[in-house]
Amino acid sequence: MFDFEKFEVYMKSKVFLKEVTSFVESNKHLSNRIADQLYRAALSIPLNIAERAGRYSKPDKRNFYTVARGSVFECTAIIDILHEGGVLSKEQKDNYYNNLEELSKMLSGLINSLR
């Protein structure tokens, strides 16, 4: 097992990705473009957390956490747009937001710890 696989933020990002994948695959009212964008942004979170583990310098590590956090914000914007467009209920939006907010806080803590 690689060290990053034990990180709580990595495990939570995989859970989020699984939820997004299920949503994208089951929702026929979603355009292919936005479905692909949401999936790629959600996938970017655990991938950048994992890639950070292969870096040695603090600036490199911080950069990959920063990119992962940027993908969290991208997912948040897409979820907001989908809710406004009537594709997501308030309950679904709130669930995604809570997960994304937790990921954002965890990544911010990790970013700040590498300053």
Q: Domain map of the chain by residue range?
A: 36-115
Domain 36-115: CATH superfamily is 23S rRNA-intervening sequence (1.20.1440.60)
Interval 15-35: pLDDT, tens: 999 999 999 999 988 999 999
What pTM was computed for the model?
0.95
* In the predicted structure, residue 38 carries a pLDDT above the cut 90: yes
DSSP track, 1-57: --GGGG-HHHHHHHHHHHHHHHHHHH-TTS-HHHHHHHHHHHHHHHHHHHHHHT--S
